[in-house]
């Protein structure tokens, strides 16, 4: 069978998503399960988005608007840009694929971090593009080391900002210096899936950089907007870039309900404010609780925390699962002594700490 499969696929390790709640309930016979593994919005989705879906449900026999006309107009108004600055995707994952297919030749290279969103590597490998990996430094992107890896074959650099799974970020000054020093034929992809949770003043205004540098900014409705189940993300860049990316994009790639929900979600500023308040308050609670337990963590600007449990992460993951608490085992990222926990509502955070205390003493 292997002889029938492309060589770059044979040894490829697929992305392993967090366990769904229903699957854990079924497997372990549990009635109550909380999921703190996939960095989802613990408040759910905006009521405006849900109402928009209900009003539109009778239209699902029709193909969606392939151009995402209304959503692009809403985004253009939100960011004070033109609709030609946007391209929509079936989640950021599809946009990563579109970017690689649009810009990277077979002979060219892609630079990524060794501890970052796994899809950069996976999608690059699926497309048979060479990956150059640069280690993090103190859980942060080492932009100096990345610069040293750039050569004549380099075409793309992926930077998750904030980074997943560490929750750290590249600040305004660091990013500008990096962009100023890279060659003009290199494109930098800034993945800002968690940007709406950021609570620091020196975070970059990436959108303001798209006309000065070769920058593509990725954003999503999956996290702060609570639309992960609808799979919808978008990229912001110069129109001359989106024009070619649209040639690669599959027709009708963003489903109808996702489009109408996203348009409604953009207008619900109160929901976003409430989400931020819950996450920031929950983050401080978890910081305090972990410090009292003597457990180290990486300070985060996202809606999750990378925790150094100083023991086998798979064992802790399995023990917590038996109590109905789903966290992320970081072994997949080569960080076997760490777990990542999504910041939830107050009751979920308290339950997580309660169960963590139990499993850490066994």
pLDDT of residue 13: 78
Give the CA-trace dihedral at 203, 208, 210, 213, to 10 degrees. Answer: -80
Q: Is 120 a residue whose pLDDT tops 70?
A: yes
Of 133, 132, 206, the C-alpha closest to 169 is 206
Does the pLDDT at position 1 exceed 70? no
Which CATH entry fits the domain spanning 2-44+270-360: 3.90.1150.10, 3.20.20.100, 2.60.40.10, 1.10.10.10?
Answer: 3.90.1150.10
At 362, the pLDDT band (50, 70, 90 cuts) reads low
pLDDT tens-digit readout, 30-85: 888 999 999 999 999 999 999 999 999 999 999 999 999 999 999 999 999 999 99
∠ CA 339-344-346, nearest 5°, is 120
Residue 227 has a CB neighbour count (10 Å cut-off) of 28
Arithmetic mean of pLDDT, 113-120: 96
CATH topology for 58-267 is 3.40.640
Alpha-carbon distance 207 to 237, whole Å?
8
pTM of the complete model beyond 0.85: yes
**Which residues lie across from 234 on neighbouring strands?**
88, 219
**Where along the chain do its domains lie?**
2-44+270-360, 58-267
Cis peptide preceding 226, ω within 30 of 0: no
């Amino acid at each position: 069978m292997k002889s029938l499969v492309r060589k770059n696929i044979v040894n490829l390790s697929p992305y392993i998503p967090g366990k769904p709640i229903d699957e854990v309930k079924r497997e372990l016979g549990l009635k109550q399960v909380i999921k703190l593994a996939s960095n989802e919005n613990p408040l759910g989705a905006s009521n405006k988005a849900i109402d928009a879906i209900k009003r539109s449900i009778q239209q699902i026999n029709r193909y969606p608007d392939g151009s995402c006309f209304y959503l692009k107009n809403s985004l253009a108004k939100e960011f004070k840009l033109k609709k030609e600055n946007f391209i929509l995707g079936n989640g950021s994952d599809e946009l990563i694929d579109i970017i690689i297919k649009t810009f990277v030749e077979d002979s060219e290279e892609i630079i990524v971090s060794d501890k970052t969103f796994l899809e950069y590597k996976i999608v690059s490998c699926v497309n048979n593009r060479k990956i150059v990996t640069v280690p993090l430094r103190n859980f942060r992107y080492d932009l100096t080391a990345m610069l040293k890896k750039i050569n004549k074959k380099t075409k793309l650099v992926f930077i998750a900002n904030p980074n997943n799974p560490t929750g750290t970020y590249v600040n305004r000054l660091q990013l500008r210096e990096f962009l100023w020093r890279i060659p003009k034929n290199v494109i930098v992809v800034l993945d800002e899936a968690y940007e709406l949770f950021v609570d620091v003043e020196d975070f970059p205004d990436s959108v303001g950089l798209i006309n000065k540098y070769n920058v593509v900014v990725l954003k999503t409705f999956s996290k702060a907007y609570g639309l992960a189940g609808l799979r919808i993300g978008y990229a912001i860049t110069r129109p001359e870039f989106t024009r070619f990316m649209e040639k690669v994009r599959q027709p009708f790639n963003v489903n109808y309900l996702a489009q109408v929900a996203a348009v409604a979600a953009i207008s619900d500023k109160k929901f976003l404010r409430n989400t931020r308040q819950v996450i920031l308050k929950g983050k401080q609670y978890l910081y305090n609780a972990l410090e009292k337990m003597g457990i180290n963590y990486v300070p985060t600007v996202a809606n999750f925390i990378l925790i150094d449990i100083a023991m086998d992460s798979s064992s802790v993951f399995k023990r917590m699962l038996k109590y109905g608490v789903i966290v992320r085992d970081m072994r997949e990222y080569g960080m076997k002594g760490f777990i990542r926990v999504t910041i939830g509502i107050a009751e979920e955070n308290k339950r997580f700490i309660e169960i963590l205390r139990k499993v850490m003493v066994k």
